[in-house]
């Protein structure tokens, strides 16, 4: 197993240096940018902007997974995902696309349309066929931890020790995936997905513990409520806080930052690289 590279259907991506994953939400109700990129001209403009600013991966979402979000019809998600991925591939032939979905049928359609990574916020818990699908497709898989579903996850999340429990989850699930023949696994602690602010900040303090799992780590805290509720502001005013936490993540050897604001994340990465922190 080599966690320094991702094999995206023959396109090898190096993780020797951290990467930026740009968020492209094409839904009407995402918590920060809902409705901004729901038609083709707008999602193409945003994808081009993020690629020019330094995104290595574009993460396409066609349903909202914000706290309280109600599940969208699978057929509608599948149609939108296929349209967006096809459009992006046509206009940016070298683009690396991650499909943000917890449904195996949507994952299959996205890969057939040209996506090369599946980002599953449910960690396989919302579709029993997801792991078998990933094993068959042989694509990198972002395994995220969640407690509950987007509709219920923030009602009353409870842990005895959140970091240890999430690390244990990854240990069990990555072992299962590897036995099924899945080689390229990325772990995402799932900040804000069934966690209180206290849980989120405990995981941030203890990020070093996730290095016990021998797979790349993706951190997605961009403009989330753990920032703006703590600072008593709003998602629109949470860019500075996002940069602070992204800096902490990079110092703790995060491999991928999933962000709305690519330029600022790229600058953060460049400055961290100049500091040359010890491993």
Q: CA-CA distances (angstroms) from residue 231 to 143, 224, 226, 244, 261?
A: 29, 11, 9, 12, 19
Find the length of the chain.
Answer: 279
Alpha carbon distance 123, 120 (integer Å): 6
**One of 258, 263, 266, 274 is an active-site residue; which one?**
258
The DSSP bridge pattern shows strands 218-219 and 256-259 to be parallel
Q: Cite the DSSP H helix spans in the chain.
A: 40-53, 74-91, 104-113, 130-137, 162-179, 197-205, 225-228, 239-251, 262-275
241 in Cβ contact with 231 (< 8 Å) = yes
Q: Tell me if residue 224 is catalytic.
A: yes
Tokens (6 digits) for 230:
């703590």
236 in Cβ contact with 196 (< 8 Å) = no
Neighbour-count burial for 136-162, b at 16+ CB within 10 Å, e otherwise: ebebbbbbbbbbbbbeebbeebebeeb
Q: Tell me if residue 103 is catalytic.
A: no
220 in Cβ contact with 228 (< 8 Å) = no
Residues annotated as part of the active site: 224, 258
């Amino acid at each position: 197993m080599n966690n320094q590279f991702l094999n995206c259907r023959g396109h090898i991506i190096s993780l020797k240096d951290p990467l930026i994953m740009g968020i492209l939400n094409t839904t009407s109700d995402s918590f920060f940018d809902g409705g901004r990129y729901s038609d083709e001209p707008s999602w193409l403009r945003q994808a081009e902007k993020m690629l020019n600013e330094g995104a290595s991966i574009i993460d396409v979402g066609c349903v909202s997974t914000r706290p309280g979000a109600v599940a969208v019809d699978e057929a509608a998600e599948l149609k939108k995902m296929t349209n967006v991925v096809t459009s992006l591939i046509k206009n940016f032939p070298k683009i690396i696309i991650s499909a943000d979905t917890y449904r195996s049928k949507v994952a299959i359609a996205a890969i057939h349309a040209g996506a090369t990574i599946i980002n599953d916020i449910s960690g396989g818990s919302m579709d029993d066929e997801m792991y078998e699908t990933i094993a068959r497709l042989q694509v990198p898989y972002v395994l995220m931890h969640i407690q509950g579903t987007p509709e219920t996850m923030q009602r009353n999340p409870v842990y005895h020790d959140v970091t240890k429990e999430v690390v244990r989850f990854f240990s069990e699930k990555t072992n299962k995936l590897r036995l099924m023949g899945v080689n390229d696994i990325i772990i995402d602690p799932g900040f804000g997905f069934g966690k209180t602010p206290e849980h989120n900040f405990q995981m941030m303090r203890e990020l070093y513990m996730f290095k016990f799992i021998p797979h790349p780590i993706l951190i997605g805290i961009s403009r989330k409520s753990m920032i703006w509720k703590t600072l008593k502001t709003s998602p629109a005013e949470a860019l500075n806080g996002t940069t602070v936490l992204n800096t902490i993540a990079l110092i703790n050897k995060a491999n991928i930052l999933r962000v709305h604001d690519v330029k600022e994340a790229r600058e953060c990465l460049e400055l961290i690289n100049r500091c040359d922190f010890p491993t």
